[in-house]
Structure 1
Amino acid sequence: MNTKSKRILTISVETGKTMLINGAETYRVEDTVKRMTENRLHLPVNVFVIPTGIIVSVDFENETVTKLYRVTPKGIDLEIIDRANTFAREFSASDMSLDDAEALLANFKTPPIFSNRARYFFGGMAGGFFVFLFGGTRLEFLISYFASSLTLFTWDHLSKLELNFFIKNIFGGLSLSLLSFLGIFLATLFGYHPDYNMVIIGPLMTLVPGVSLTNGIRDLISGELLAGSAKIMEALFIAIALAFGVGMVLQLILGHI
């Protein structure tokens, strides 16, 4: 392959890798890489994507070029996925120069980063309002709000330890339930008796893998049976780990009341 073709292939695959790393569906990644490469190289391209890798094969001047890229997902960032989608459409539908494309590619990989203060504040709001959704009181909302904020704070520190996802989510379940019961204990000192079920549901919902489960189902519907099954199993094991962590605290505390 000549230098220009290699650059086009690299730009296409890097876009797909960025999407996959940040939680995009595998069928979307396949379509993006295939569309970007074919529209610029005007050659048939085969793309195979699983949650941890991308394989691209191009027939170029009687020579088949196949490349394998290992991918390590790091979470879900819908902002980056949206930017990558927008970039892919512009790259495919225009005569954008490769220099401009490489500059834009580097730009959308680093979106604006919100401060921890803002993340904890709105994360607490997200968890707290689930209490109202399930019919909780204002006091339970307040306790759940602070428990959710502190759960995100704890989660950030757990992420730095590079634990595997199962152990990490067990500790996440432990921390959110302990923080919830701490808030309940403080409330009882002032004569209030909030429902621990209502309080725990808020911080728990901030860690439930809802987007991963949805993406897995969408992959299955799109015919990506391997990738869809893998994502659903990952979401299932995360849910089991969270339930295990919360269950240990409930058994420990409620068993002694």
Structure 2
Amino acid sequence: MNESIYIYFHYRGVPALDRYEIKELVLFAALAGRVLLENGAETYRAESTVEHILRSRGVGNVQAFVIPTAIFLSIEYNDELYSHIERNKRIGIDLMRVTRVNDLSRDFSSGSMSVQEARLKLNDIKKSSQYSLLTQLLFAGVGGSFFTLMYNGGLLEFTGALIASAITAAVTEFLFAHDVSLFMRNVAGGLITAAASITFSVACTLLGLQVDMNIIIIGGIMTMVPGVAITNAVRDSISGDYVSGMSRTSEALVISVALVLGVGVTLNAARILLGGLMP
């Protein structure tokens, strides 16, 4: 290794890296960026995290280009070029994981943590969940049901939306765990929401209770509306990341179309099968 480079890194307190170590560092930085993207982080956050991790170990020339589905990374170290592409096929939302990756990045950059130790912690973050599945389903149901109050829904609509939201969250979480595509996941979500809402509404009608099925469907589906994707699309576009902005916009459109398709197909099928029983 060039002696001046070694002296420079040694002066900064950063040991010089061999080719294997720099490769491991690149893989760790790219994986950290991918975990951020998988859990709903903004493009600029993933880019800055990747660059921060690499520069903390003395890598000066870092070029990171991030879009929601991939990370393109190129660095120059000791007169050699290294490049890496990290694909991302999972899109979800878990802001606690985003926070934990940010904390890990800061700890890695400011301390003496090894790359191997950092990767183990990152893998633990990928597998971790702050809340149990039961808690997630409960609050998914509560979150959806409170939207019924905005549309003048009553106790029955509130209860129906709570049940529909919780069931939909369980199904979509199962599909996400099995790497089902974003489009099909949201089609299934719209279908389950509509089916649960129709079943609850028909049961209430048979019992002689008046209920507004449309309000239940609206409440049940609100937890799947792509608010984070739309927000990130606007933020990326404003910051000049137009490719990411268009990608996020496309993601929001795909989710919206999938939800409408799932709900529409289910409503039409129910009208044909149930006829006059539809509320």
TM-score by length of 2: 0.83
Matched, 1:116 2:133: yes
Matched, 1:3 2:24: no
- Alpha-carbon deviation of 1:166? 2.2
Q: How well do the aligned residues superpose, as a CA RMSD in angstroms?
A: 2.2
One-letter amino acid of the structure 2 residue matched with residue 20 of structure 1: L
- Alpha-carbon deviation of 1:83? 0.4
One-letter amino acid of the structure 1 residue matched with residue 89 of structure 2: T
* Residue among 188, 198, 205 paired with 2:205: 188
**Aligned CA distance change for structure 1 residues 249 and 97 (closer, same or farther; 3 Å):** closer
- Alpha-carbon deviation of 1:161? 6.5
Which residue does the alignment assign to 1:135? 152
One-letter amino acid of the structure 1 residue matched with residue 183 of structure 2: F
* Residue among 43, 53, 58 paired with 2:75: 58
Ranges of 4+ aligned residues in structure 1 off by more than 6 Å: none
Which residue does the alignment assign to 2:170? 153
8 Å contact 1:79–1:111 — kept in the other structure? no
Cα deviation per residue 1:49-76 (whole Å; 9 max; x = unaligned)? 1222112111122222222222222422
Q: What runs of 5+ residues in structure 1 fail to find an aligned partner?
A: none
8 Å contact 2:53–2:109 — kept in the other structure? yes
Q: Percent of pairs identical after alignment?
A: 35
Q: Larger relative contact order (C-alpha < 8 A, sep ≥ 6)? A: 1
Separation (CA, whole Å) in 2 of partners of 1:117 and 1:20: 25
SS of the residue corresponding to residue 23 of structure 1 reads coil
Matched, 1:77 2:94: yes
8 Å contact 2:31–2:86 — kept in the other structure? no
- Alpha-carbon deviation of 1:96? 3.1
Which residue does the alignment assign to 1:98? 115
Cα deviation per residue 1:24-71 (whole Å; 9 max; x = unaligned)? 222111111011111212411111112221121111222222222222
8 Å contact 2:26–2:84 — kept in the other structure? no
Separation (CA, whole Å) in 1 of partners of 2:167 and 2:65: 40
TM-score by length of 1: 0.89
* Larger Rg over CA atoms: 2
Separation (CA, whole Å) in 1 of partners of 2:148 and 2:135: 21
Aligned residues: 257
